[in-house]
Chain A
Amino acid sequence: MRDWKLEISRRLADVTLAPPREAEIVEELAQHLEDRYQELLVGGATEARAYNATLAEMQDHELLVRELRRTATPPPVIPGTRRTSRIADIRQDVRYGLRMLARNPGFTVVAVLTLALSIGATTAIFSVVYGVLLRPLPYPKPQQIISVAERAADGHPMNFTDPNFDDLRASNHSLAALAEYDVNGVSTVVDSAGPSRVGVAFVSHDFFRAMGVAPVLGRGFSPDELHEGAAPVALTSYGYWRERLGAARDLSRFKLKMGEYVFSVVGVLPPGFSFPTGTDLWFPRELLEHLPSRTAHNWHVLGRVRDGATLVQARADLSVIARRLKQQFGADIDMTDVDVTPLRERLTGDVRPALLILLGAVGFLLLVGCANVANLELARAAARERELAVRAALGADRGRLVRQFLTESLLLSLAGGVLGVVAARWGVSGLIALAPPNLPRLTDVSVNLPVLFFALAVSILVASGLGVLTALRATSADPQRALAEDSGGHAVSPHSQRLGRILVASQLAITLMLLTGSGLLGRSLLRVLSIDPGFRTENILTIELELPAATLTAYSFALSPTGRAQAAGFVDKLFERLHTIPGVQEVGGSSDLPLAGDLSNGTFLLLDRQSSITMLDDFERLMHAVPTGEADYEVASEGFFTALGIPLLRGRLFDAHDTADAPHVAVIDQSLARATWPNQDPIGKKIEFGNMDGDVRLLTVVGVVGDVRDRSLERPPEPTVYVNYRQRLRPGGDFTVVMRASAPPASVLPAVRKIVRELDPDEVPRLHTFEQVFSASLETRRFNLMLIGVFAGAALLLAAVGIYGVMAYWVARRRREIGVRMALGAVPGDVLRLVLSHSSWTIAAGLVLGLAGSLALTRTMKSLLFDVSAADPVTFAGVALLLAGVALLACYIPARRAMKVDPMVALRYE
């Protein structure tokens, strides 16, 4: 017997097979060859001829090798598994899928772009949601960091008072650290490089322990620096140290001047640490006065739960102490309990609803995009029905075909996902640039690993949904019927058609919900804009200043008369110089510009002429004895009212006679007049508001002005007491000058800068037009509206393309029918009616579903609406009409094409 095994083994050298399997194959093939050889010999062939003829059986051995490779069982890792064949199948599916997609570039490009748009937008919004809401704070064991606030009797949270903080800190058993800090914002600081506006914070000594950070250079605050009158020291942020201090290792030579105080830099905090947000310099809170009052709420408080204790335990622990204090101090304490929340929640609680609504909205956009791609895939699957039927008839099992569809969907959505992530990176930069300033943790927003995982998960989810839907629909067709149909590639089951229309109706429904959402937000914005704020904004320049300070007075009530006189003198000189700029009509100023930020408010006493007080302690005593009122407290000049066009309704404004030594006067707004002295003339009434600035001199009401929406356009005007800057200016405080000019504000900027610099070289004025300030106050609303509006617009476009596609396809398939009808006498109007009646049910179903969905969902966005009901009929009707119009227009284009069908051509077409 010839050695066939050797010949075979030599030819199979390239195939890796498990040895026993290879032996079997070789034996089996050798047997075959031997049979053949013997047969040839019996047939009369010579040995040589028989040998050659037998070997010829193996001449296609490359094919054998290839086929064996494909079906071969590899050296078994786990006996019995069939991994290689599965991997080979997958590889084959991928190759085949790529070929199919490449053969259909129109479909592929549209599908990939649609998915890229949808996945990209979703990923971009998720990046923001992840960075702002989900990402852990960048501190050690961030879940242990808590924010603590006093809770008032009516449930609202308040800042801490010093004695309450001290008691909580001393008596708790659950915290490793508890610290006071302020969000003092921005101050002018002079270093060796000159003055600059810097974020500063006063923090108590446990602050850095609570946050879990330590200086990377130098040291922290030492005990002897932690009392009033100690030598002032500062810690700087890493960024400030690099940019302003030149990253010098020797910190001892750096002195920072803030007001009259000079701080020595003793340490540098780690890169990235900037809490409270935007802070570059930290000072010991202990430098400032410790106030004994349990009603002076000045401090934010944060803490760290000690190892082993839980948030719940900490909450219970602190709550017990707070309630005990309330029992002990009764009316002298405002705190009834404490609010304990994880710091992360505290930082982001305000924006959470809006962000989640945006995420929901972009999710809807994703669904609309998927529906479009699903419709494309269905149409393509219909076109491939015969191919699938042939494959099924020839033995391809359904599972394999389903897998083929899944593979193709996966290829599409991964391509869409990759493009989407690229788009998301652009989107995220755009979002960060456009985001309203109150969006916290923006620096934590980026397209990072978790975001990429999210994009991948979304892509896979989309692929599975699309693939399974299409595959089940496409492979459920009866191969025999599909093969038997003689419709030349246009075979499409009524099921696919129905599914396509269901998809379009759902698209329209979801689009309608998005449109309703953006419609409601848009109407809210219009409502807000139509509000009369009580002041004018045109041609007004605002100049934010920090008044020169004689002392470090952030919380000090002990104000020196000289300090006040100095500050008032500075303002007087400034007003005088600004008036000399050509074109300037009015100049004034106030401690609090409307819409620009925090306002102080408090309780005042209604006193008569006889019962004036001489010290602040009397104020606390009288609070329970005489009538009181609540009001905002602002320092202003008479020019403030005239420049902003706030009307004088009664009495007079301040004037030059109201000097520091003259009786102190107040101008009040109309709502305070109404609330406090209904049906009386408020002029000449006396109030005591010394708790706001430590000055206990009585204020006499001399004038009543119109109401102003100070805090935001959306909040009704608050009762306000305006005091005269000549009498009550706070040195070191913020003061905003307002200037009305006949020329555009920009033209006077250089002159203003020059004047400020000449009067105080250390001042860094921030100049804005009042219109900018006004506009900034609407940024959050505009941001939400813009995003949801863009999503709704994109969804509308996708839905229009979707319904157009389905109708165009329907018309194309019905050309012959339409041709017959026209040949039988139908006029174009009849054809139009046929097409539109076919689509109108789909559109109607979409509208009804969408309106119902909107009713259910817009309730969740109540907190974002203003003066518009979540079920606003005008909005609902408007967006429904818009959508119906766009949908009908999208149908009209194919309908027109149908009307132009030439009966003869259409009949020949098939």
Chain B
Amino acid sequence: MFYQYMAMLHVSSRIIDRELKKGSAELLILSLIEARPRHGYDLSKLIEQRSDGALRFHVASLYPLLYRLEERGWIRGRWVEKAGQRRRRYYRLTTRGRVVLAAQRRGWRAFVEAINRVAGVEHA
């Protein structure tokens, strides 16, 4: 019957994949501006450096994400002019963003632990 049919339904791997990438990118950006405001180029460099080049954001994917986070009210961009430089847009974490970041960190931790348990990977 349909109940059993539905019970066997599983989460589409494509959905997880997409949500993972998107979610992890959000987590990265929120974390990087937690301590102090940063501009877009700065963010892309930091991600690349700290991941030893494993993660890299192009302009085409980084900025839409920043705009979306800003739209949600999690981060806030502001043009800052410094002496001898052209003006740049710096992003800082909002109060709401701070709450989201905490929740995402928890969720991520739970997710990783779940994956570990399922996949049998031991904790370091």
Residues on A facing B (Cβ under 8 Å) = 24-25, 28-29, 31-33, 35-36, 57-61, 63-64, 67-68, 70-71, 73, 82, 85, 103-104, 106-107, 110, 376, 379-380, 382-384, 386-387, 390-396, 479-480, 483-484, 486, 489-490, 804-805, 808-809, 812-813
Question: Closest CB-CB distance, B17 to chain A, in whole Å?
Answer: 11
In the complex, what residues of B have CB within 8 A of residue A489's CB?
A: 7-10
Q: In chain B between 1 and 42, which residues have their CB closer than 8 angstroms to a CB of chain A?
A: 1-12, 15-16, 19-20, 22-24, 26-27, 39-41
Structural contact, A483 and B114, CB atoms closer than 8 A: yes
Structural contact, B59 and A64, CB atoms closer than 8 A: yes
Nearest 10 CB-CB pairings of A with B: A394-B23, A393-B107, A67-B64, A64-B60, A387-B11, A106-B2, A60-B60, A809-B3, A35-B41, A57-B59
In the complex, what residues of B have CB within 8 A of residue A67's CB?
A: 60-61, 64-65, 68
A and B contact pairs by CB, cutoff 8 A, 28 listed:
A25-B67, A31-B41, A31-B89, A32-B63, A57-B60, A58-B59, A63-B64, A64-B59, A68-B64, A68-B67, A106-B5, A107-B5, A383-B8, A386-B11, A387-B11, A387-B16, A390-B15, A390-B111, A395-B27, A395-B104, A396-B19, A480-B107, A484-B117, A486-B118, A489-B8, A489-B10, A805-B2, A812-B4
Q: In chain B between 79 and 96, which residues have their CB closer than 8 angstroms to a CB of chain A?
A: 86, 88-89
Structural contact, A379 and B58, CB atoms closer than 8 A: no
Q: In chain B between 100 and 121, which residues have their CB closer than 8 angstroms to a CB of chain A?
A: 100, 103-104, 106-108, 110-111, 113-114, 117-118
In the complex, what residues of B have CB within 8 A of residue A60's CB?
A: 58, 60-61
Q: Known contacts A60-B58, A394-B104; is A28 also within 8 Å of B40 by CB?
A: yes
Residue of B nearest to A29 (CB): B59
Structural contact, A106 and B7, CB atoms closer than 8 A: no
Q: Known contacts A58-B59, A393-B107, A393-B108; is A805 also within 8 Å of B9 by CB?
A: no
Residues on B facing A (Cβ under 8 Å) = 1-12, 15-16, 19-20, 22-24, 26-27, 39-41, 44, 58-61, 63-65, 67-68, 71, 86, 88-89, 100, 103-104, 106-108, 110-111, 113-114, 117-118
User: Complex formed: what's the CA distance from A71 to B70 in Å?
Assistant: 10
User: Complex formed: what's the CA distance from A71 to B68 in Å?
Assistant: 6
Q: Known contacts A32-B59, A486-B118; is A812 also within 8 Å of B68 by CB?
A: no
Q: Of B3, B11, B68, B108, which one neighbours A379 at CB under 8 angstroms?
A: B3
Q: Known contacts A32-B41, A479-B110; is A384 also within 8 Å of B9 by CB?
A: yes
User: Complex formed: what's the CA distance from A578 to B120 in Å?
Assistant: 100
Structural contact, A809 and B110, CB atoms closer than 8 A: no
User: Complex formed: what's the CA distance from A61 to B63 in Å?
Assistant: 11
Structural contact, A31 and B107, CB atoms closer than 8 A: no
Counting chain B CB atoms within 10 Å of each CB, which of A24, A63, A71, A382 scores highest? A71
Structural contact, A395 and B100, CB atoms closer than 8 A: yes
User: Complex formed: what's the CA distance from A259 to B3 in Å?
Assistant: 72
In the complex, what residues of B have CB within 8 A of residue A36's CB?
A: 41
In the complex, what residues of B have CB within 8 A of residue A390's CB?
A: 11, 15-16, 19, 111
Q: Of A32, A63, A394, A490, which one neighbours B107 at CB under 8 angstroms?
A: A394
Question: Closest CB-CB distance, B82 to chain A, in whole Å?
Answer: 13
Counting chain B CB atoms within 10 Å of each CB, which of A59, A104, A483 scores highest? A483
Q: Of B63, B103, B110, which one neighbours A28 at CB under 8 angstroms?
A: B63
Q: Known contacts A28-B89, A394-B23, A805-B2; is A490 also within 8 Å of B7 by CB?
A: yes
In the complex, what residues of A have CB within 8 A of residue B15's CB?
A: 387, 390-391
Q: Of A58, A82, A395, A396, which one neighbours B60 at CB under 8 angstroms?
A: A58
Structural contact, B61 and A63, CB atoms closer than 8 A: yes
In the complex, what residues of B have CB within 8 A of residue A376's CB?
A: 2-3, 6
Question: Closest CB-CB distance, B54 to chain A, in whole Å?
Answer: 18
Q: Of B2, B20, B63, which one neighbours A394 at CB under 8 angstroms?
A: B20
User: Complex formed: what's the CA distance from A32 to B60 in Å?
Assistant: 11
User: Complex formed: what's the CA distance from A484 to B20 in Å?
Assistant: 17
In the complex, what residues of B have CB within 8 A of residue A382's CB?
A: 7
User: Complex formed: what's the CA distance from A18 to B30 in Å?
Assistant: 27
In the complex, what residues of B have CB within 8 A of residue A386's CB?
A: 11
Question: Closest CB-CB distance, A399 to chain B, in whole Å?
Answer: 11
In the complex, what residues of A have CB within 8 A of residue B7's CB?
A: 379, 382-383, 489-490, 809, 812-813
Q: Of A33, A85, A479, A805, which one neighbours B59 at CB under 8 angstroms?
A: A33
In the complex, what residues of B have CB within 8 A of residue A490's CB?
A: 7
User: Complex formed: what's the CA distance from A483 to B11 in Å?
Assistant: 12
Structural contact, A480 and B11, CB atoms closer than 8 A: no
Q: Of A61, A71, A484, A804, which one neighbours B110 at CB under 8 angstroms?
A: A484
Structural contact, A480 and B106, CB atoms closer than 8 A: yes
Q: Known contacts A395-B23, A483-B110; is A805 also within 8 Å of B1 by CB?
A: yes
Apart from A32-B44, A387-B11, list 12 A-B contacts with CB within 8 A: A25-B67, A59-B60, A71-B68, A107-B6, A110-B2, A393-B108, A394-B20, A395-B104, A484-B113, A484-B117, A486-B118, A809-B3
Question: Closest CB-CB distance, A910 to chain B, in whole Å?
Answer: 13
Structural contact, B71 and A85, CB atoms closer than 8 A: yes
In the complex, what residues of A have CB within 8 A of residue B41's CB?
A: 31-32, 35-36
In the complex, what residues of B have CB within 8 A of residue A384's CB?
A: 9, 11
User: Complex formed: what's the CA distance from A721 to B79 in Å?
Assistant: 105
User: Complex formed: what's the CA distance from A36 to B41 in Å?
Assistant: 8
User: Complex formed: what's the CA distance from A396 to B104 in Å?
Assistant: 10
Residue of B nearest to A388 (CB): B11
In the complex, what residues of A have CB within 8 A of residue B3's CB?
A: 376, 379, 805, 808-809, 812
User: Complex formed: what's the CA distance from A384 to B43 in Å?
Assistant: 35
User: Complex formed: what's the CA distance from A387 to B60 in Å?
Assistant: 28
Question: Closest CB-CB distance, A549 to chain B, in whole Å?
Answer: 70
Question: Closest CB-CB distance, A255 to chain B, in whole Å?
Answer: 70
User: Complex formed: what's the CA distance from A63 to B64 in Å?
Assistant: 9
User: Complex formed: what's the CA distance from A33 to B3 in Å?
Assistant: 54
Question: Closest CB-CB distance, B29 to chain A, in whole Å?
Answer: 11
User: Complex formed: what's the CA distance from A377 to B26 in Å?
Assistant: 31
Structural contact, A31 and B1, CB atoms closer than 8 A: no
Structural contact, B60 and A63, CB atoms closer than 8 A: yes
Q: Known contacts A393-B23, A805-B2; is A71 also within 8 Å of B67 by CB?
A: yes
User: Complex formed: what's the CA distance from A787 to B117 in Å?
Assistant: 58
User: Complex formed: what's the CA distance from A58 to B60 in Å?
Assistant: 6
Structural contact, B114 and A484, CB atoms closer than 8 A: yes
Residue of A nearest to B15 (CB): A387
Q: Of B19, B22, B58, B103, which one neighbours A57 at CB under 8 angstroms?
A: B58
Question: Closest CB-CB distance, A15 to chain B, in whole Å?
Answer: 11
Structural contact, B6 and A104, CB atoms closer than 8 A: yes
Question: Closest CB-CB distance, B75 to chain A, in whole Å?
Answer: 13
Question: Closest CB-CB distance, B8 to chain A, in whole Å?
Answer: 7
Structural contact, A808 and B4, CB atoms closer than 8 A: yes
In the complex, what residues of A have CB within 8 A of residue B6's CB?
A: 104, 106-107, 376, 379-380, 383
User: Complex formed: what's the CA distance from A707 to B41 in Å?
Assistant: 104
In the complex, what residues of B have CB within 8 A of residue A392's CB?
A: 107
Q: Of B20, B24, B63, which one neighbours A64 at CB under 8 angstroms?
A: B63
User: Complex formed: what's the CA distance from A31 to B104 in Å?
Assistant: 30
Structural contact, B9 and A809, CB atoms closer than 8 A: no
Question: Closest CB-CB distance, A60 to chain B, in whole Å?
Answer: 4
In the complex, what residues of B have CB within 8 A of residue A63's CB?
A: 60-61, 64
Residue of B nearest to A396 (CB): B19
Question: Closest CB-CB distance, A318 to chain B, in whole Å?
Answer: 64
In the complex, what residues of B have CB within 8 A of residue A483's CB?
A: 110-111, 114
Structural contact, B23 and A25, CB atoms closer than 8 A: no
Question: Closest CB-CB distance, B116 to chain A, in whole Å?
Answer: 11
Structural contact, A808 and B1, CB atoms closer than 8 A: yes
Question: Closest CB-CB distance, A407 to chain B, in whole Å?
Answer: 16
User: Complex formed: what's the CA distance from A28 to B11 in Å?
Assistant: 38
In the complex, what residues of A have CB within 8 A of residue B104's CB?
A: 393-395
In the complex, what residues of A have CB within 8 A of residue B27's CB?
A: 395
Question: Closest CB-CB distance, B2 to chain A, in whole Å?
Answer: 4
In the complex, what residues of A have CB within 8 A of residue B63's CB?
A: 25, 28-29, 32, 64
Question: Closest CB-CB distance, A84 to chain B, in whole Å?
Answer: 11
User: Complex formed: what's the CA distance from A73 to B27 in Å?
Assistant: 24
Question: Closest CB-CB distance, B66 to chain A, in whole Å?
Answer: 9
User: Complex formed: what's the CA distance from A860 to B46 in Å?
Assistant: 75
